[in-house]
């Protein structure tokens, strides 16, 4: 085979070189073979898209809504998104502040390309969603990670954040509620972040894909306080159980949207019309759809917490929102990776090493609780058995 050349960017987007996902893929393959494994290493709840949304998409397909659409999105959908954003965050935005993307991930990617390049830095708060590094570094910019303290409940370390700002910093990126920690940035924390952004003319990139799962379906936001430099990224993936529809968007200042639209012209060329119409329906039932997911997650979070809380050696961090729980396993004498591997080998329960989200979370594992209730009960039984036999064996 000839050795062909690739661009520099293929290096920047290459995987973490980490084998963190090895257990997940082993478990996935074992489940496909029909083995009795429990997969708690990713979050894709077994909940269907709300029926009216599916109906609307089918109707549109039957009616021939299969042509090109305006690159940034149909105006009535962008108006509906703007209205929802106004209601949640009080920021007086309109359709021209909104642009559609193929999921929040695509919006994050486009945002990076519009804001950062060679020699720039973007700061992200650990523990951090795994795609952020490649998403930022594909542009040639450097991702600067600011650590957290597991002992302090995984809240952001704002002194370290302030110290990380340099003349090269272009943006501060975070998810709130956070994946993986479930932490929701509070008003006081946002005020510090906002002050830094204001003082140093930084963009704020707020990834709010889990906002619909937060209490009342909203999170504190700097959008209204810093309208010229704040980007809110969201999607229907989590809030409406619609990850496969790839419907996401960004709300930001109009000049940003103009640049992003130019990028969309050469990157995406518009979202499918039938999906946009289905999204209008989804937004019209947001309250009910989000309440369903919140109730689903809250019940299962509590069950998982109760099932694990009493196990000596484990310390559970109760998330404020989302579908994941971080569990500190350092009391077992293992780090997250060792725990992940040994638990799977002994009990066929697949969790994720917290080390993939940052150095400070190397002693934790991330467990997804968005699964059937009986699965949670069985997983907790197996984890308890594993920990007690490990502690007995080593102690």
Ligand X SMILES: Cc1ncc(COP(=O)(O)O)c(C=O)c1O
- Footprint of ligand X (CB under 6 A): 103-105, 129, 175, 179, 207, 209, 235, 237, 243, 248
Angstrom distance (rounded) from CA 14 to CA 11: 5
The shares of helix, strand and coil residues in the chain, as percent rounded to the nearest 5, are: 50, 15, 40
User: Which residue, 214 or 387, has its beta carbon nearer to ligand X?
Assistant: 214
What does the alpha-carbon distance between residue 228 and residue 97 come to, in Å, rounded to a whole number? 11
Q: How far apart are CA 333 and CA 51, in angstroms?
A: 47
Cα distances (Å, whole numbers) of residue 219 to 120, 237, 249, 313, 365: 29, 17, 17, 33, 25
Least distance (Å) from ligand X to the CB of residue 332?
27
Contact 278, 53 (CB under 8 A): yes
DSSP state letters, 60-101? HHHTT--S---TT--HHHHHHHHHHHHHHH-----GGGEEEE
Q: Of 45 and 248, which has the nearer Cβ to ligand X?
A: 248
- Separation CA 76–CA 82 (nearest Å): 10
Contact 122, 170 (CB under 8 A): yes
- Considering the complex, state which of residue 129 and residue 305 has its C-beta at the smaller distance from ligand X: 129
CB of 243 to ligand X, least distance (A): 5
Select 110 or 196, whichever has its Cβ closest to ligand X.
110
Q: How far is the CB of 77 from ligand X (least distance, A)?
A: 16
CA–CA separation, 358 and 42 (whole Å): 17
Smallest separation (angstroms) from ligand X to the CB of 4 = 30
Query: Taking the complex as a whole, how short is the minimal distance between the CB of residue 392 and ligand X, in angstroms?
Result: 37
Phi, psi dihedral angles at 41 (to 5 degrees): -95, -15
The whole-angstrom separation of Cα 18 and Cα 22 is 9
Phi/psi at 159 (nearest 5 deg)? -70, -40
Could you give the CA distance from residue 70 to residue 76 in angstroms, rounded to a whole number? 12
* CB closer to ligand X out of 170 and 240: 240
Residue nearer to ligand X on the CB measure, 43 or 194: 43
Q: How far is the CB of 385 from ligand X (least distance, A)?
A: 30
Question: Which lies closer to ligand X via its Cβ, residue 97 or residue 235?
Answer: 235
In this complex, which beta carbon is closest to ligand X, that of residue 184 or of residue 387?
A: 184
**Please, which residue, 111 or 175, has the CB nearer to ligand X?**
175
Min CB(50)–ligand X separation in Å: 17
Minimal CB distance residue for ligand X: 103
**Burial of 167 per CB tally in 10 Å (0-12, 13-18, 19+):** exposed
CB of 3 to ligand X, least distance (A): 34
CB of 194 to ligand X, least distance (A): 20
The Cα–Cα gap between 119 and 156 comes to: 25
């Amino acid at each position: 085979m000839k050795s062909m050349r690739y661009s520099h960017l293929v290096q920047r987007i290459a995987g973490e070189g980490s084998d963190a996902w090895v257990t997940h893929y082993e478990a996935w393959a074992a489940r496909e073979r029909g083995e009795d494994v429990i997969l708690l290493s990713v979050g894709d709840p077994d909940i269907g898209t709300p029926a009216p949304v599916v109906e609307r998409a089918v109707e549109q397909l039957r009616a021939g809504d299969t042509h090109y659409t305006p690159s940034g999105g149909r105006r009535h959908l962008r108006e509906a998104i703007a209205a929802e954003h106004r209601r949640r965050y009080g920021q007086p935005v309109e359709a021209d502040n909104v642009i559609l993307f193929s999921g929040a991930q695509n919006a994050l990617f486009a945002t990076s390309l519009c804001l950062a390049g060679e020699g720039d830095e973007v700061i992200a708060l650990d523990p951090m969603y795994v795609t952020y590094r490649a998403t930022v570094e594909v542009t040639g910019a450097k991702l600067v990670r600011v650590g957290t303290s597991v002992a302090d409940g995984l809240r952001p370390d704002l002194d370290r954040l302030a110290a990380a700002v340099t003349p090269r910093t272009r943006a501060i990126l975070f998810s709130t509620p956070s994946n993986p920690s479930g932490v929701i940035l509070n008003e006081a924390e946002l005020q510090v972040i906002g002050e830094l952004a204001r003082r140093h003319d930084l963009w704020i990139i707020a990834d709010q894909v889990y906002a619909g799962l937060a209490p009342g379906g909203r999170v504190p936001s700097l959008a209204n306080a810093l309208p010229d430099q704040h980007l809110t990224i969201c999607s229907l993936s989590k809030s409406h159980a619609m990850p496969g529809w790839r419907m996401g968007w960004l709300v930001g200042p109009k000049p940003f949207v103009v640049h992003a639209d130019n990028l969309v012209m050469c990157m995406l060329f518009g979202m499918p019309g039938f999906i946009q119409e289905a999204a209008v329906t989804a937004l019209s039932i947001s309250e009910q759809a989000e309440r369903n997911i919140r109730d689903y997650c809250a019940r299962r979070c509590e069950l998982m917490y109760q099932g694990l809380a009493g196990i000596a050696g484990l310390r559970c961090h109760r998330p404020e929102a989302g579908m994941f729980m971080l569990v500190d396993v350092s009391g077992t004498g293992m780090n997250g990776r060792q725990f992940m591997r040994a638990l799977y080998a002994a009990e066929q329960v697949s969790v994720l090493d917290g080390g993939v989200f940052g150095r400070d979370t190397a002693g934790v594992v991330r467990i997804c609780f968005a699964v059937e209730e009986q699965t949670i009960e069985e997983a907790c039984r197996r984890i308890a058995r594993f920990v007690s036999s490990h502690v007995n064996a080593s102690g």
